[in-house]
Amino acid sequence: MGHLDNVTPGQQTRALTSSTLAFTVCFAVWTIFSIIGIKIKAELGLSDTQFGILVATPILTGSLSRIFLGIWADQYGGKIVYSTQMMLTAIAVALLSFANTYTMFLVAALGVGLAGGSFAVGVTYVSKWYPKEKQGTALGIFGMGNVGAAITNFGAPILLVAVGGAWQNVALVYAAIIAVTSVIFFLFAQDDPVHLQRRAQGVKHESFIQQLAPLKHLQVWRFALYYFFVFGGFVALALWLPRYYVGAYGLPLGTAGLLAASYALPGSIFRGIGGWLSDKIGARRVMYWTFGVTFVACFFLSYPATDYRVAGINGPIEFNLTIPLWMFVSLTIVLGFFMSLGKAAVYKHIPVYYPDHVGAVGGIVGLIGGLGGFILPITFGVMNDLIGVWTSCFMLLTILIGIALIWMHFSIQRLERSQHPEQHGPRDLPEMEDLHGTPAK
């Protein structure tokens, strides 16, 4: 830990605070279509499938850019990469306000998606400031920037009313906020100690291809599958739930955004607790709890609304069996809470197993997770158009969690067998003495 010898707690706090605030702004921008997309859907007369593609397109760019931005943050330092990424995003969001066709919206959404790449930059930057035993907590706190989704779900409808109902004005306000954040971060953030040490010693950074070397390990892709659900599923639901509440429960947009925020908020702010628990009791145990509880929650959320008709004394009795709104909201809060723990636990693994390739490994894990946020909303829309069952989105999530849980469990068992072969397989029975005191043959 030579690069941390001269780092003070104040510098660590400064780096963590500035990165978390910047990530919060980026995440709020990244999910802007969850609210203004509903207005655009009404204006253009889009289907649920087209709506799903629209809200998911920024997630695609944010996902694909993570591996590049993470590696560049390793090579050139997180400060300059973070600031540049935010300023480019601000330009893209401003240009969004000029779009007026579905194709133009999709092109603009690709640029807005750069906001999502901030996660890989922040993980790389923050991890350089802390020793391994504290990285889980630090990265968990940084990941609380996911609360930006809740800020958008709650605040954007209010802002939309304040600016006269014009979604274009909301986009311009968001563009201004992220541009100011970029300038403030560049002025107040410091170069990370690893980057400073390498520069002082004249050490050349690894090439792009060398940084990708760890990706040959299956373990990296297993971590990516975990993140596909805990992060990709989180983003997908944060984008989809406002539409879900409007369509399935007939709620107004403001109320739908508020209830969606009640899911996104615990899915964000408790990530710090997930990091702390991963440091204290182990990330593996946290992941077991995450997959176990979320599997049960999604299973119950999967139950479709069903009309029943039964015989009664005075004639047939008809009733509808569906999840009451208060129960649905409660289950989504539980779901969000455990997703937040799981997100922190996944990223606890990376700097421990791959300390010299946090950018590359964190980038690919974040990329796959982000792709979940891209693929799942589109799939939700397609399933809803094809079969007309709103709860089909939770049916799909239940299957994904089951696959991830099974793969994790058997991988852990295989790892334990390789590390402690004496505890597995056939075991010799202890010798028993016969009646004459002679060991049995």
Instruction: Write the pLDDT tens digit of every residue in 126-164.
Output: 888 888 778 878 888 888 887 888 888 788 888 988 988
What is the model's pLDDT at position 222?
A: 84
Give the integer Cα–Cα distance in Å for 221 and 128.
23
Superfamily of domain 8-306+317-417: MFS general substrate transporter like domains (1.20.1250.20)
Taking only the tens place, the pLDDT of each residue in 285-313 is 899 999 999 999 999 998 876 544 445 55
Tell me if residue 318 falls in helix, strand or coil.
strand
Please answer whether residues 339 and 93 qualify as being in contact, where contact means their C-beta atoms are separated by less than 8 angstroms: no
**Other C-beta atoms within 10 Å of 411: how many?**
13
Give the integer Cα–Cα distance in Å for 84 and 80.
6
Q: How confident is the model at residue 396 (pLDDT cuts 50, 70, 90)?
A: very high
- Residue range 211-227: average pLDDT? 77
pLDDT exceeds cutoff 90 at 270 = no
Taking only the tens place, the pLDDT of each residue in 56-103 is 888 888 888 887 888 888 888 889 999 999 999 999 999 988 988 999
Please answer whether residues 272 and 144 qualify as being in contact, where contact means their C-beta atoms are separated by less than 8 angstroms: yes
Distance set, CA 249 to CA 145, 175, 243, 252, 434 (Å) = 29, 32, 10, 9, 76
The whole-angstrom distance between residue 274's C-alpha and the CA centroid of its chain comes to 13
Nearest to 27 by CA among 172, 138, 137, 178: 178
Nearest to 234 by CA among 182, 278, 272, 271: 271
Distance set, CA 161 to CA 35, 36, 158, 244 (Å) = 12, 12, 5, 21
- Residue range 9-30: average pLDDT? 91
> SS3 helix, strand, coil % of the chain, rounded to 5?
80, 5, 20
Tell me if residue 219 falls in helix, strand or coil.
helix
The residue behind tokens 């009791």 is: 281
Q: Which residues of 51-79 are buried (b: 16+ CB within 10 A; e: fewer)?
A: bbbbbbbbbbbbbbbbbbbbbbbbbebbb
Q: How confident is the model at residue 114 (pLDDT cuts 50, 70, 90)?
A: very high
Q: Which helix (H) or strand (E) holds 307?
A: strand 306-310
Residue type at 364? I
Q: For residue 306, what are the β-bridge partners?
A: 321
Give the integer Cα–Cα distance in Å for 422 and 150.
50
Q: What is the DSSP letter of 319?
A: E
pLDDT exceeds cutoff 90 at 2 = no
Q: How confident is the model at residue 351 (pLDDT cuts 50, 70, 90)?
A: confident
Q: How confident is the model at residue 206 (pLDDT cuts 50, 70, 90)?
A: low
Q: How confident is the model at residue 20 (pLDDT cuts 50, 70, 90)?
A: very high
Residue 243 contacts by C-beta under 8 Å, 6 or more apart in sequence?
38, 48, 51, 256
What is the model's pLDDT at position 354?
A: 76
Please answer whether residues 40 and 167 qualify as being in contact, where contact means their C-beta atoms are separated by less than 8 angstroms: yes
Q: Please work out, in degrees rounded to the nearest 5, the angle formed at the alpha carbon of residue 419 by the alpha carbons of 418 and 421.
A: 65
Q: Measured in Å, how far apart are the chain's first and last C-alpha atoms?
A: 57
Choice between 440 and 53, residue whose per-residue pLDDT is larger: 53
Give φ, ψ of 440 to 5 degrees.
-70, 145
Q: Which helix (H) or strand (E) holds 368?
A: helix 358-387
Domain extents in the chain? 8-306+317-417
Give φ, ψ of 439 to 5 degrees.
-55, 135
**What angle separates helix 271-281 from helix 283-301, to the nearest 10 degrees?**
130
Q: For residue 303, what are the β-bridge partners?
A: none
Tell me if residue 436 falls in helix, strand or coil.
coil
**Other C-beta atoms within 10 Å of 113: how many?**
26
Give φ, ψ of 276 to 5 degrees.
-65, -45
Tell me if residue 320 falls in helix, strand or coil.
strand
- Residue range 165-189: average pLDDT? 93
Q: For residue 321, what are the β-bridge partners?
A: 306
